[in-house]
Structure 1
Amino acid sequence: MDRKICEAAVELYAKEGWGRFTFEAVARLAGVGKPALYLRYPSKEELLISSIATLNRVDDEIDTGSLHSDLLQYVREAFEFRLSALGTAFLRMMADQLYHPELREPFHERVVRKKILSVRRIIERAKERGELPRSMDTNILLESLDGAVMNRVNGTRLVSRKRLRAMADEYAETLVRMLLEGASAGALLPSGPTTIRES
């Protein structure tokens, strides 16, 4: 039942957004009674954030022993994520949290922060193995990976997404190769401040 509720919550939010996200609608889509939701979640904010956090596979550590293989797996998983209802919900939440402060802190703490830390560990291990220079800008590399995948998926029409999924491996190989060639040539080394610090 917990899984059904989480999947229904994410699917509903991905399709309808925060304005139409209600306990009643989630219960109806999940095929459960509203009391089952009220027993588990004190608010609709908690219902949504918990559902996204539960379905987001940030605890599945990628560690193949090779930076190239780690990044290939990461990009492939990023494609699947962005093409799913969870990826659409994540994208919606990135916009909604700007206008709904009650979503902002729990979303960043329980979802965004964990996601960033999990992939940051890939880069830090690569630096320890000598596969990347220690001075390389980790943020730019991560943003290049995620930004490329997000733009490719969001810029593709729904009718073409099946073909896009079939091309994911080829795209991952090209993207990772280009980024690592750039890193080895020093293109991803910092030339000035690259991190915005929130006050």
Structure 2
Amino acid sequence: MEQKKLAGRPRDPEIRKRVLLAAQRVYVRAGFSGMTFEAVAREAAVGKPAIYRRWASAEALMDDVLSSHVLVPDRSMRGEIRPVLRAIAMSVLRLAHSEEGAFVLRVSSERALHPKLFDQYFERLRSVIHFQNRALIVEATSRGELVENCNPDILIQTITGSVLVSALMGFTVAPDKDEEGAARYCDDLVAQILRGVASDPTRR
């Protein structure tokens, strides 16, 4: 009589998501050198064999974390440039005060140590986020809202850089803790920047 093959233990369909999130959190706290399978397994509350079955090394796990860490731009932003710039500033401010933002900053700080791992990640960030926002600046310039020699890259960097420094230095709080204060900061920042690049003095 033919024997039936015993079914193995079913895999947890959520385990990959849990491990990737755990790896992200461990990395933010301890850096790549501290992102061991043991630490990740403890954070994810799974056994180490469950990680070894899916990833051959810490590098492979980090590569999966980076590939799954997608910051989706707000494609609804269109129209007059002032509210668009405010929306960009608020988006960066929310990111700066989030787990995702902490991850981006940690990757940035270790980029020179692990260029093969991290360079492609930043290339993707630029192509997805920066260049969409850049296109919005170019559109506004073509409509005559901004001066003709406005540099779209510098304008976006001015906004994002100002927001990130402000968050890092503790000059702003998370929008989910003080929505009005965050909105006021973004309004003031955009107004200050537009004084230098708006083509129409009434828009400044």
TM-score range, shorter chain: 0.7 to 0.9
How far is the alpha carbon of 1:163 from its aligned partner? 8.4
Q: Does 1:135 align with 2:134?
A: no
In 2, the alpha carbon distance for the partners of 1:176 and 1:43 equals 45
Rg bigger for which structure?
Answer: 2
CA-to-aligned-CA distance 1:2-40 (integer Å, 9 cap, x gap): 433332222211111122012332232123344554555
TM-score scaled by length of structure 1? 0.76
Partner of 2:6: none
Structure showing the higher helix proportion among its residues: 1
In 2, the alpha carbon distance for the partners of 1:72 and 1:118 equals 15
Partner of 2:96: 82
How far is the alpha carbon of 1:97 from its aligned partner? 0.9
Q: Does 1:65 align with 2:88?
A: no
Instruction: Give the AA of the match of 1:132.
Output: L
Instruction: Name the SS of the counterpart of 2:39 in structure 1.
Output: helix
Partner of 2:122: 108
In 2, the alpha carbon distance for the partners of 1:127 and 1:140 equals 14
In 2, the alpha carbon distance for the partners of 1:133 and 1:40 equals 53
- Would you say how many aligned residue pairs link Structure 1 and Structure 2? 184
Partner of 1:147: 161
Instruction: Give the AA of the match of 2:147.
Output: P
1:140–1:165 Cα change, 3 Å: farther
How far is the alpha carbon of 1:71 from its aligned partner? 1.4
CA-to-aligned-CA distance 1:167-198 (integer Å, 9 cap, x gap): 21110000111111211269xxxxxxxxxxxx
Partner of 1:197: none
Structure 1 portions without partners, runs of 5+: 187-199
Q: Which has the higher mean CA deviation after the structures are superposed, 102-111 or 38-47?
A: 38-47
Instruction: Give the AA of the match of 2:31.
Output: G
TM-score scaled by length of structure 2? 0.75
Instruction: Give the AA of the match of 2:96.
Output: R
In 2, the alpha carbon distance for the partners of 1:108 and 1:78 equals 16
Q: Which has the higher mean CA deviation after the structures are superposed, 118-127 or 160-169?
A: 160-169
Please, what is the CA RMSD of the aligned residues? 2.8
How far is the alpha carbon of 1:137 from its aligned partner? 0.8
In 1, the alpha carbon distance for the partners of 2:61 and 2:82 equals 37
Q: 1:22 aligns with which of 36, 39, 59?
A: 36
Structure 2 portions without partners, runs of 5+: 1-13
CA-to-aligned-CA distance 1:116-165 (integer Å, 9 cap, x gap): 223222222323333223431112111111111111111118xx845895
Q: Which has the higher mean CA deviation after the structures are superposed, 11-20 or 51-60?
A: 51-60
CA-to-aligned-CA distance 1:51-75 (integer Å, 9 cap, x gap): 3453442344242322212211111
